[in-house]
A = this chain, B = another copy of it.
Amino acid sequence: MANDKKMVEQITSMDTDFAQWYTDVVKKAELVDYSGVKGCMIIRPYGYAIWENIQHDLDARFKKLGHENVYMPMFIPESLLQKEKDHVAGFAPECAIVTIGGQNKLSERLIVRPTSETLFCEHYKNIIHSYRDLPKLYNQWCNVVRWEKTTRPFLRTSEFLWQEGHTMHENEEQAREETLNMLKCYEDFYRETLAIPAVTGRKTEKEKFAGAKETYTIEPMMHNGVALQGGTSHYFGDGFARAFDITYTDRENKICYPHQTSWGVSTRMIGAIIMTHGDDNGLILPPKVAPIQVAIIPIAQHKEGVLEKAGEVRDILANNFRVKLDDSDYSTGWKFSQYEMKGVPLRLELGPRDIENNCCVLVSRVTREKKVVSLDNIAEEVEQALAAVHNELYERALNNLSEKMSEARTHEEFLDIAENKPGFIKAMWCGDSECEDQLKDETGGVKSRCIPFVEEKLADTCVCCGKPAKHMVVFGRQY
Protein backbone atom coordinates (compact mmCIF):
# COMPACT_ATOMS: atom_id res chain seq x y z
CA MET A 1 0.00 0.00 0.00
CA ALA A 2 1.02 3.58 -0.70
CA ASN A 3 1.26 4.39 2.99
CA ASP A 4 3.84 1.76 3.78
CA LYS A 5 6.30 3.50 1.54
CA LYS A 6 5.97 6.76 3.36
CA MET A 7 8.72 6.95 5.97
CA VAL A 8 9.17 9.43 8.76
CA GLU A 9 11.26 12.09 7.14
CA GLN A 10 14.73 12.88 8.36
CA ILE A 11 15.26 15.87 10.61
CA THR A 12 18.51 17.83 10.36
CA SER A 13 20.68 17.27 13.44
CA MET A 14 20.75 20.08 16.01
CA ASP A 15 24.54 20.10 16.04
CA THR A 16 24.76 20.35 12.26
CA ASP A 17 22.41 23.30 11.90
CA PHE A 18 20.20 24.37 14.80
CA ALA A 19 18.16 26.79 12.67
CA GLN A 20 17.45 24.13 10.06
CA TRP A 21 16.63 21.64 12.83
CA TYR A 22 14.03 24.11 14.14
CA THR A 23 12.51 24.63 10.70
CA ASP A 24 12.39 20.87 10.08
CA VAL A 25 10.65 20.24 13.40
CA VAL A 26 7.94 22.89 13.02
CA LYS A 27 7.19 21.72 9.48
CA LYS A 28 7.45 17.95 9.91
CA ALA A 29 5.63 17.79 13.22
CA GLU A 30 2.90 19.72 11.38
CA LEU A 31 2.84 22.64 13.79
CA VAL A 32 2.74 25.33 11.11
CA ASP A 33 2.52 25.91 7.41
CA TYR A 34 3.80 28.97 5.59
CA SER A 35 1.21 31.27 4.08
CA GLY A 36 1.27 33.54 1.07
CA VAL A 37 1.17 36.51 3.44
CA LYS A 38 4.71 37.64 4.11
CA GLY A 39 5.68 37.06 7.73
CA CYS A 40 2.38 35.44 8.74
CA MET A 41 2.05 31.77 9.66
CA ILE A 42 -0.69 29.19 9.56
CA ILE A 43 -0.97 27.38 12.89
CA ARG A 44 -2.02 23.83 12.04
CA PRO A 45 -4.23 21.62 14.27
CA TYR A 46 -1.36 20.01 16.16
CA GLY A 47 0.27 23.39 16.84
CA TYR A 48 -3.01 25.08 17.68
CA ALA A 49 -3.95 22.32 20.14
CA ILE A 50 -0.76 23.15 22.07
CA TRP A 51 -1.86 26.79 22.14
CA GLU A 52 -5.33 25.82 23.36
CA ASN A 53 -3.80 23.84 26.22
CA ILE A 54 -1.56 26.80 27.08
CA GLN A 55 -4.54 29.17 27.01
CA HIS A 56 -6.67 26.90 29.15
CA ASP A 57 -4.00 26.64 31.85
CA LEU A 58 -2.97 30.30 31.87
CA ASP A 59 -6.53 31.61 31.70
CA ALA A 60 -7.42 29.64 34.84
CA ARG A 61 -4.35 31.10 36.61
CA PHE A 62 -5.35 34.65 35.61
CA LYS A 63 -8.97 34.18 36.72
CA LYS A 64 -7.89 32.69 40.03
CA LEU A 65 -5.98 35.93 40.62
CA GLY A 66 -9.18 37.90 39.98
CA HIS A 67 -8.71 38.92 36.34
CA GLU A 68 -11.56 39.23 33.86
CA ASN A 69 -11.42 38.86 30.08
CA VAL A 70 -12.56 41.58 27.70
CA TYR A 71 -12.23 42.32 24.00
CA MET A 72 -10.99 45.61 22.57
CA PRO A 73 -11.12 46.67 18.90
CA MET A 74 -8.20 45.55 16.72
CA PHE A 75 -7.80 49.01 15.21
CA ILE A 76 -6.23 52.00 16.95
CA PRO A 77 -6.86 55.48 15.49
CA GLU A 78 -3.47 57.02 14.78
CA SER A 79 -4.16 59.97 17.09
CA LEU A 80 -4.89 57.61 19.99
CA LEU A 81 -1.60 55.76 19.59
CA GLN A 82 0.21 59.09 19.64
CA LYS A 83 -1.09 60.19 23.03
CA GLU A 84 1.83 58.68 24.98
CA LYS A 85 5.00 59.82 23.25
CA ASP A 86 7.47 57.11 24.34
CA HIS A 87 4.94 54.46 23.45
CA VAL A 88 4.29 55.66 19.90
CA ALA A 89 8.02 56.14 19.29
CA GLY A 90 8.58 52.49 20.20
CA PHE A 91 5.85 51.06 18.01
CA ALA A 92 5.57 53.41 15.00
CA PRO A 93 8.31 51.66 12.98
CA GLU A 94 6.54 48.30 13.07
CA CYS A 95 2.93 49.24 12.41
CA ALA A 96 0.57 47.89 9.74
CA ILE A 97 -1.79 50.68 8.76
CA VAL A 98 -5.29 50.54 7.32
CA THR A 99 -5.88 53.50 5.01
CA ILE A 100 -8.95 52.28 3.09
CA GLY A 101 -12.30 51.12 4.48
CA GLY A 102 -15.42 50.30 2.46
CA GLN A 103 -13.72 51.52 -0.75
CA ASN A 104 -13.05 55.00 0.69
CA LYS A 105 -9.85 56.58 1.91
CA LEU A 106 -10.18 56.91 5.69
CA SER A 107 -10.10 60.40 7.19
CA GLU A 108 -7.94 59.00 10.00
CA ARG A 109 -5.56 56.12 9.47
CA LEU A 110 -6.07 53.04 11.66
CA ILE A 111 -3.17 51.13 13.17
CA VAL A 112 -3.63 47.37 13.47
CA ARG A 113 -2.95 46.92 17.21
CA PRO A 114 0.69 46.09 18.03
CA THR A 115 -0.43 46.14 21.72
CA SER A 116 -3.48 47.73 23.32
CA GLU A 117 -2.41 50.04 26.17
CA THR A 118 -3.96 53.03 24.42
CA LEU A 119 -7.33 51.31 23.81
CA PHE A 120 -7.53 50.10 27.39
CA CYS A 121 -6.73 53.61 28.62
CA GLU A 122 -9.47 55.15 26.47
CA HIS A 123 -11.94 52.67 27.99
CA TYR A 124 -10.61 53.08 31.54
CA LYS A 125 -11.22 56.81 31.26
CA ASN A 126 -14.93 56.00 30.76
CA ILE A 127 -15.32 53.48 33.55
CA ILE A 128 -12.96 54.55 36.35
CA HIS A 129 -14.30 57.34 38.54
CA SER A 130 -13.97 56.28 42.17
CA TYR A 131 -11.57 54.20 44.27
CA ARG A 132 -14.52 51.76 44.36
CA ASP A 133 -13.89 51.13 40.64
CA LEU A 134 -10.34 49.96 41.38
CA PRO A 135 -8.51 47.76 40.84
CA LYS A 136 -9.50 46.97 37.27
CA LEU A 137 -7.90 43.63 36.37
CA TYR A 138 -8.53 43.05 32.67
CA ASN A 139 -6.99 40.65 30.19
CA GLN A 140 -7.60 39.86 26.54
CA TRP A 141 -6.65 36.99 24.24
CA CYS A 142 -6.19 38.27 20.71
CA ASN A 143 -4.02 38.68 17.64
CA VAL A 144 -1.54 41.55 17.27
CA VAL A 145 0.64 42.78 14.41
CA ARG A 146 4.22 44.03 14.50
CA TRP A 147 5.70 44.35 11.05
CA GLU A 148 8.89 42.28 10.88
CA LYS A 149 11.55 42.09 8.21
CA THR A 150 12.87 38.62 8.94
CA THR A 151 10.47 36.14 10.42
CA ARG A 152 10.51 32.61 11.86
CA PRO A 153 7.46 30.56 12.85
CA PHE A 154 6.41 31.21 16.48
CA LEU A 155 9.59 33.20 17.26
CA ARG A 156 9.10 36.30 15.18
CA THR A 157 6.08 36.75 12.92
CA SER A 158 4.28 39.87 11.74
CA GLU A 159 1.04 38.60 13.25
CA PHE A 160 0.99 36.56 16.41
CA LEU A 161 -1.48 35.42 19.07
CA TRP A 162 -1.07 36.46 22.67
CA GLN A 163 -2.73 37.58 25.86
CA GLU A 164 -2.31 41.08 27.17
CA GLY A 165 -3.25 41.95 30.74
CA HIS A 166 -3.93 45.62 31.51
CA THR A 167 -4.64 46.64 35.07
CA MET A 168 -5.31 49.87 36.97
CA HIS A 169 -4.68 50.35 40.70
CA GLU A 170 -5.17 52.93 43.41
CA ASN A 171 -1.50 53.47 44.03
CA GLU A 172 2.07 52.65 43.10
CA GLU A 173 2.44 49.94 45.72
CA GLN A 174 -0.52 47.90 44.47
CA ALA A 175 0.47 48.31 40.83
CA ARG A 176 4.05 47.26 41.55
CA GLU A 177 2.77 44.24 43.44
CA GLU A 178 0.59 43.25 40.46
CA THR A 179 3.55 43.65 38.08
CA LEU A 180 5.65 41.26 40.14
CA ASN A 181 2.76 38.86 40.85
CA MET A 182 2.15 38.42 37.14
CA LEU A 183 5.83 37.81 36.44
CA LYS A 184 5.67 35.16 39.16
CA CYS A 185 2.52 33.75 37.53
CA TYR A 186 4.48 33.37 34.28
CA GLU A 187 7.45 31.85 36.09
CA ASP A 188 5.18 29.29 37.80
CA PHE A 189 3.50 28.50 34.49
CA TYR A 190 6.85 27.99 32.73
CA ARG A 191 8.06 25.69 35.51
CA GLU A 192 4.86 23.81 36.40
CA THR A 193 3.26 23.52 32.96
CA LEU A 194 5.99 23.93 30.33
CA ALA A 195 8.79 22.34 32.43
CA ILE A 196 11.01 25.27 31.49
CA PRO A 197 13.36 26.95 34.01
CA ALA A 198 14.34 30.57 33.37
CA VAL A 199 16.24 33.60 34.56
CA THR A 200 13.91 36.37 35.73
CA GLY A 201 14.56 39.98 36.60
CA ARG A 202 14.27 43.59 35.58
CA LYS A 203 15.13 44.95 32.14
CA THR A 204 17.70 47.74 31.91
CA GLU A 205 16.50 51.22 30.91
CA LYS A 206 17.58 50.55 27.32
CA GLU A 207 15.67 47.27 26.98
CA LYS A 208 12.40 48.14 28.67
CA PHE A 209 8.98 48.47 27.01
CA ALA A 210 8.09 51.72 25.23
CA GLY A 211 6.32 53.87 27.82
CA ALA A 212 7.00 51.68 30.88
CA LYS A 213 8.70 52.75 34.10
CA GLU A 214 9.94 49.20 34.72
CA THR A 215 9.85 46.05 32.63
CA TYR A 216 10.28 42.63 34.23
CA THR A 217 11.08 39.64 32.08
CA ILE A 218 11.29 35.88 32.07
CA GLU A 219 14.22 34.62 29.97
CA PRO A 220 14.42 30.90 29.36
CA MET A 221 17.55 29.56 27.66
CA MET A 222 17.15 27.52 24.52
CA HIS A 223 19.08 24.28 23.98
CA ASN A 224 21.74 26.14 21.97
CA GLY A 225 22.34 28.72 24.70
CA VAL A 226 20.36 31.51 23.07
CA ALA A 227 17.80 33.43 25.15
CA LEU A 228 14.13 33.82 24.29
CA GLN A 229 12.28 36.71 25.89
CA GLY A 230 9.51 34.51 27.22
CA GLY A 231 7.12 37.03 28.74
CA THR A 232 7.16 40.53 30.18
CA SER A 233 5.35 42.44 32.90
CA HIS A 234 5.42 46.24 32.94
CA TYR A 235 4.84 48.86 35.60
CA PHE A 236 3.75 52.14 34.01
CA GLY A 237 3.33 54.45 36.96
CA ASP A 238 0.67 57.03 36.11
CA GLY A 239 2.21 58.08 32.79
CA PHE A 240 -0.56 56.78 30.57
CA ALA A 241 -3.22 57.87 33.07
CA ARG A 242 -1.90 61.44 32.81
CA ALA A 243 -1.67 61.29 29.02
CA PHE A 244 -5.24 59.98 28.82
CA ASP A 245 -6.58 62.06 31.72
CA ILE A 246 -7.82 59.06 33.71
CA THR A 247 -8.60 60.15 37.27
CA TYR A 248 -10.49 58.80 40.27
CA THR A 249 -11.73 60.12 43.58
CA ASP A 250 -9.79 58.46 46.38
CA ARG A 251 -10.87 57.47 49.90
CA GLU A 252 -10.14 61.01 51.13
CA ASN A 253 -12.19 62.51 48.29
CA LYS A 254 -9.08 63.71 46.43
CA ILE A 255 -8.73 63.47 42.64
CA CYS A 256 -5.86 61.09 41.79
CA TYR A 257 -4.29 59.31 38.83
CA PRO A 258 -4.44 55.49 38.98
CA HIS A 259 -1.29 53.40 38.51
CA GLN A 260 -1.08 50.92 35.67
CA THR A 261 0.49 47.62 34.62
CA SER A 262 0.47 45.43 31.55
CA TRP A 263 1.82 41.94 30.94
CA GLY A 264 1.84 39.45 28.10
CA VAL A 265 2.94 36.12 26.71
CA SER A 266 2.44 34.84 23.19
CA THR A 267 2.57 31.92 20.75
CA ARG A 268 6.33 32.44 21.03
CA MET A 269 6.12 30.10 24.01
CA ILE A 270 5.61 27.26 21.53
CA GLY A 271 9.00 28.20 20.06
CA ALA A 272 10.44 28.05 23.59
CA ILE A 273 8.99 24.55 24.10
CA ILE A 274 10.48 23.32 20.81
CA MET A 275 13.96 24.75 21.40
CA THR A 276 14.16 23.91 25.12
CA HIS A 277 13.01 20.30 25.01
CA GLY A 278 13.38 19.02 21.43
CA ASP A 279 16.10 16.63 20.24
CA ASP A 280 17.40 15.10 17.00
CA ASN A 281 14.34 12.86 16.79
CA GLY A 282 12.03 15.85 16.79
CA LEU A 283 9.70 17.53 19.20
CA ILE A 284 9.37 16.67 22.89
CA LEU A 285 6.23 18.11 24.44
CA PRO A 286 5.73 18.71 28.16
CA PRO A 287 2.83 16.42 29.17
CA LYS A 288 0.61 19.23 30.45
CA VAL A 289 0.32 20.89 27.02
CA ALA A 290 0.83 17.87 24.73
CA PRO A 291 -2.22 17.37 22.44
CA ILE A 292 -1.56 13.63 22.70
CA GLN A 293 -0.12 12.58 26.07
CA VAL A 294 -0.08 8.85 25.43
CA ALA A 295 0.22 7.11 22.05
CA ILE A 296 -0.93 3.49 22.24
CA ILE A 297 0.85 1.34 19.66
CA PRO A 298 -0.52 -2.19 19.31
CA ILE A 299 2.13 -4.80 18.51
CA ALA A 300 1.16 -7.53 16.01
CA GLN A 301 -2.24 -5.86 15.83
CA HIS A 302 -3.62 -8.43 13.36
CA LYS A 303 -3.45 -11.12 16.11
CA GLU A 304 -6.71 -11.93 17.79
CA GLY A 305 -7.63 -9.78 20.78
CA VAL A 306 -4.82 -7.20 20.44
CA LEU A 307 -6.85 -4.30 19.05
CA GLU A 308 -9.72 -5.16 21.36
CA LYS A 309 -7.50 -4.99 24.45
CA ALA A 310 -5.77 -1.85 23.16
CA GLY A 311 -9.21 -0.29 22.79
CA GLU A 312 -10.06 -1.18 26.39
CA VAL A 313 -6.84 0.40 27.64
CA ARG A 314 -7.54 3.51 25.52
CA ASP A 315 -11.03 3.81 27.03
CA ILE A 316 -9.70 3.55 30.57
CA LEU A 317 -6.98 6.12 29.98
CA ALA A 318 -9.24 8.50 28.04
CA ASN A 319 -11.02 9.36 31.29
CA ASN A 320 -7.94 11.17 32.57
CA PHE A 321 -5.55 11.68 29.68
CA ARG A 322 -5.36 12.81 26.07
CA VAL A 323 -4.70 9.48 24.45
CA LYS A 324 -4.52 8.16 20.90
CA LEU A 325 -4.65 4.53 19.81
CA ASP A 326 -2.98 4.19 16.41
CA ASP A 327 -4.51 1.13 14.73
CA SER A 328 -3.59 2.31 11.22
CA ASP A 329 -1.78 -0.04 8.85
CA TYR A 330 1.52 1.82 9.07
CA SER A 331 4.37 -0.36 10.35
CA THR A 332 5.13 -0.43 14.07
CA GLY A 333 8.55 1.12 13.42
CA TRP A 334 7.00 3.94 11.45
CA LYS A 335 4.55 4.60 14.26
CA PHE A 336 7.33 4.68 16.86
CA SER A 337 9.25 7.26 14.80
CA GLN A 338 6.14 9.27 14.01
CA TYR A 339 5.05 9.78 17.63
CA GLU A 340 8.63 10.41 18.68
CA MET A 341 8.89 13.10 16.03
CA LYS A 342 5.63 14.64 17.18
CA GLY A 343 6.94 14.74 20.74
CA VAL A 344 4.26 12.57 22.39
CA PRO A 345 5.57 12.22 25.98
CA LEU A 346 4.64 8.59 26.51
CA ARG A 347 4.35 5.54 24.25
CA LEU A 348 2.33 2.54 25.42
CA GLU A 349 3.17 -0.72 23.61
CA LEU A 350 0.76 -3.62 23.88
CA GLY A 351 1.24 -6.99 22.14
CA PRO A 352 -0.04 -10.58 22.46
CA ARG A 353 2.57 -11.58 25.05
CA ASP A 354 1.88 -8.45 27.12
CA ILE A 355 -1.80 -9.28 27.09
CA GLU A 356 -1.06 -12.82 28.29
CA ASN A 357 0.90 -11.33 31.17
CA ASN A 358 -1.70 -8.64 31.85
CA CYS A 359 0.88 -5.91 31.30
CA CYS A 360 2.14 -3.37 28.79
CA VAL A 361 5.31 -1.37 28.11
CA LEU A 362 5.60 2.36 28.79
CA VAL A 363 8.37 4.27 26.99
CA SER A 364 9.41 7.78 28.01
CA ARG A 365 10.06 10.14 25.07
CA VAL A 366 12.83 11.82 27.09
CA THR A 367 14.91 8.95 28.49
CA ARG A 368 13.57 6.27 26.09
CA GLU A 369 13.52 3.95 29.08
CA LYS A 370 11.10 1.08 28.81
CA LYS A 371 9.09 0.02 31.80
CA VAL A 372 6.85 -3.03 32.00
CA VAL A 373 3.79 -2.22 34.06
CA SER A 374 0.65 -4.08 35.08
CA LEU A 375 -2.60 -3.27 33.33
CA ASP A 376 -4.41 -3.50 36.69
CA ASN A 377 -3.58 0.04 37.69
CA ILE A 378 -2.64 1.46 34.31
CA ALA A 379 -4.11 4.90 34.95
CA GLU A 380 -1.87 5.39 37.99
CA GLU A 381 1.16 4.06 36.13
CA VAL A 382 0.56 6.48 33.27
CA GLU A 383 0.05 9.37 35.65
CA GLN A 384 3.38 8.63 37.35
CA ALA A 385 5.15 8.15 34.04
CA LEU A 386 3.86 11.49 32.72
CA ALA A 387 4.93 13.22 35.94
CA ALA A 388 8.37 11.63 35.48
CA VAL A 389 8.58 12.96 31.90
CA HIS A 390 7.74 16.45 33.17
CA ASN A 391 10.44 16.23 35.84
CA GLU A 392 13.02 14.76 33.46
CA LEU A 393 12.38 17.61 31.02
CA TYR A 394 12.71 20.22 33.73
CA GLU A 395 15.89 18.74 35.18
CA ARG A 396 17.48 18.45 31.75
CA ALA A 397 16.63 22.04 30.90
CA LEU A 398 17.88 23.21 34.31
CA ASN A 399 21.19 21.40 33.72
CA ASN A 400 21.50 23.05 30.33
CA LEU A 401 20.86 26.45 31.91
CA SER A 402 23.47 25.83 34.64
CA GLU A 403 26.08 24.45 32.26
CA LYS A 404 25.73 27.34 29.86
CA MET A 405 25.75 30.06 32.54
CA SER A 406 29.17 31.72 32.68
CA GLU A 407 30.64 34.51 34.77
CA ALA A 408 32.87 37.22 33.34
CA ARG A 409 34.97 39.40 35.65
CA THR A 410 36.99 41.25 33.03
CA HIS A 411 36.31 42.75 29.62
CA GLU A 412 38.61 40.20 27.94
CA GLU A 413 36.91 37.32 29.71
CA PHE A 414 33.50 38.64 28.56
CA LEU A 415 34.58 38.84 24.92
CA ASP A 416 36.23 35.42 25.09
CA ILE A 417 33.11 33.73 26.50
CA ALA A 418 30.86 35.59 24.06
CA GLU A 419 32.93 34.27 21.19
CA ASN A 420 33.61 30.74 22.37
CA LYS A 421 30.92 29.55 24.72
CA PRO A 422 27.20 29.62 23.93
CA GLY A 423 24.93 30.65 26.77
CA PHE A 424 24.38 33.43 29.29
CA ILE A 425 27.08 35.56 30.89
CA LYS A 426 26.80 37.10 34.34
CA ALA A 427 28.80 40.30 34.65
CA MET A 428 28.92 43.56 36.60
CA TRP A 429 27.68 46.74 34.98
CA CYS A 430 27.95 50.47 35.71
CA GLY A 431 24.36 51.28 34.71
CA ASP A 432 25.34 53.15 31.55
CA SER A 433 23.58 52.17 28.31
CA GLU A 434 26.70 53.05 26.31
CA CYS A 435 28.42 50.05 27.87
CA GLU A 436 25.50 47.84 26.78
CA ASP A 437 25.88 49.21 23.24
CA GLN A 438 29.62 48.63 23.23
CA LEU A 439 29.35 45.03 24.46
CA LYS A 440 26.66 44.32 21.90
CA ASP A 441 28.78 45.74 19.06
CA GLU A 442 31.96 43.98 20.14
CA THR A 443 30.26 40.60 20.41
CA GLY A 444 27.94 40.85 17.46
CA GLY A 445 24.75 40.74 19.48
CA VAL A 446 25.21 39.84 23.15
CA LYS A 447 22.71 42.06 25.00
CA SER A 448 21.59 42.47 28.57
CA ARG A 449 18.77 40.03 29.33
CA CYS A 450 17.95 41.37 32.79
CA ILE A 451 19.13 42.39 36.23
CA PRO A 452 18.14 39.31 38.27
CA PHE A 453 16.14 39.74 41.48
CA VAL A 454 19.05 38.31 43.46
CA GLU A 455 22.30 39.88 42.33
CA GLU A 456 25.72 38.47 43.12
CA LYS A 457 28.74 40.72 43.55
CA LEU A 458 31.21 39.31 41.05
CA ALA A 459 33.47 42.37 41.03
CA ASP A 460 33.53 46.03 42.00
CA THR A 461 33.74 47.45 38.51
CA CYS A 462 31.81 47.42 35.23
CA VAL A 463 32.92 44.62 32.92
CA CYS A 464 33.00 47.12 30.05
CA CYS A 465 34.24 50.53 31.20
CA GLY A 466 35.83 49.73 34.55
CA LYS A 467 33.82 52.37 36.43
CA PRO A 468 32.14 51.37 39.72
CA ALA A 469 29.53 48.67 39.15
CA LYS A 470 25.90 49.22 40.09
CA HIS A 471 24.32 45.91 39.14
CA MET A 472 24.96 42.37 38.10
CA VAL A 473 23.44 41.76 34.68
CA VAL A 474 22.77 38.52 32.83
CA PHE A 475 23.81 38.93 29.20
CA GLY A 476 23.06 36.73 26.22
CA ARG A 477 22.19 36.49 22.56
CA GLN A 478 18.48 36.42 21.80
CA TYR A 479 15.88 35.21 19.36
Contacts and interface: CB of A to CB of B under 8 A. Distances in A.
Q: How many copies, total?
A: 2
A54 interface: no
Interface of chain A, helix or strand or loop or mixed?
A: mixed
A76 B38 CA distance: 10
A36 B69 contact: no
Interface string A118-135: 010011001100101000
A42 interface: yes
Interface stretch (A45-53, A382-390, A450-458): A45-53
Interface in A121-153: 122-123, 126-127, 130, 132, 138, 142-143, 145, 147-149
B72 A44 contact: no
A162 to B, nearest CB: 12
A94 interface: yes
Given A99-B97, A112-B112, A45 B73 contact: no
Contact of A159 (B51, B75, B80): B75
Interface string A48-69: 1101100000000000000011
A364 to B, nearest CB: 27
B93 A71 contact: no
A161 interface: yes
A473 interface: no
Given A35-B73, A95-B100, A142-B143, 13 more contacts: A35-B122, A40-B75, A42-B72, A42-B73, A49-B69, A73-B159, A74-B143, A74-B159, A93-B103, A96-B101, A96-B110, A99-B100, A101-B147
7 contacts: A42-B72, A45-B70, A75-B159, A94-B102, A95-B103, A96-B100, A97-B100
